[in-house]
Amino acid sequence: MSGLLVVLPIISTTYADGCVESLRRPDSAAGLKAEEILVVDNSRDGFCESRYGLPTYRDPDGRNLGVARAWNIGVDRVLDGGYDYLVLMSSVMLFGPELHTTWRREIEQWWGHNVVEATGHSWHLIALHRRLFETIGRFDPAYYPYAIEQVDWCYRLRMAGLEHGFVHVWCNALSMGHALHAYVVNCPADPLLDHYRQKFGGDKGSETFTMPYGSKPLDYVVEEPIPVLAERYGLGEYGVGWW
Q: What is the pLDDT of residues 26-68, one digit of tens each?
A: 999 999 999 999 999 999 999 999 999 999 999 999 999 999 9
Range 191-200 average pLDDT: 97
pLDDT at 163: 84
What is the percent of the chain where pLDDT is above 70?
93
Give the C-alpha separation, 50 to 52, whole Å: 6
226 phi/psi in degrees, rounded to 5: -60, -45
Give the C-alpha separation, 171 to 163, whole Å: 23
The CA-to-CA distance between both ends of the chain, in Å, stands at 38
81-95, 123-137, 155-169, range with the lowest pLDDT:
155-169
- Residue 19 in any domain: the answer is yes
What residues contact residue 82 under an 8 Å CB cut-off, 6+ apart? 2, 3
Give the C-alpha separation, 99 to 204, whole Å: 38
- Residue 145 in any domain: the answer is yes
Range 105-127 average pLDDT: 96
Q: Order of strands, edge to edge, in the sheet holding 56-58?
A: 56-58, 37-41, 4-10, 85-89, 125-129, 115-118, 166-169
Name the burial class of residue 112, with classes exposed (0-12), middle (13-18) and buried (19+) by CB atoms within 10 angstroms of its CB.
exposed
Buried b (16+ CB within 10 A) or exposed e, 46-68: ebbeebbebebbbbeeebbbbbb
pLDDT at 185: 60
Helix segments in the chain, DSSP class H? 13-24, 48-52, 66-81, 103-109, 130-136, 149-159, 190-200, 226-233, 235-238
| Statement: residue 181 has pLDDT above 90 | no
Residue with the larger pLDDT of the pair 206 and 234? 206
- Residue 243 in any domain: the answer is no
Identify the H or E element spanning 4: strand 4-10
Asked if 153 contacts 198 with a C-beta cutoff of 8 angstroms, the reply is no
Confidence of residue 240 (pLDDT cuts 50, 70, 90): very low
Mean pLDDT, the chain, whole residue set: 92
- Residue 189 in any domain: the answer is yes
- Residue 100 in any domain: the answer is yes
| Statement: residue 243 has pLDDT above 80 | no
- Domain span holding position 40: 4-238
pLDDT digits (tens, 9 = 90+) for 64-74: 999 999 999 99
Range 67-83 average pLDDT: 97
Radius of gyration of the chain (CA): 17
Give the C-alpha separation, 30 to 6, whole Å: 11
Range 146-153 average pLDDT: 95
| Domains held by the chain: number | 1
Helices (H) and strands (E) in the chain, counts: 9, 9
**The domain that contains 22 carries what CATH number?**
3.90.550
pLDDT at 236: 74
Confidence of residue 1 (pLDDT cuts 50, 70, 90): low
What is the percent of the chain where pLDDT is above 90?
85
Confidence of residue 179 (pLDDT cuts 50, 70, 90): very low
Amino acid type, 176: M
pLDDT at 184: 54
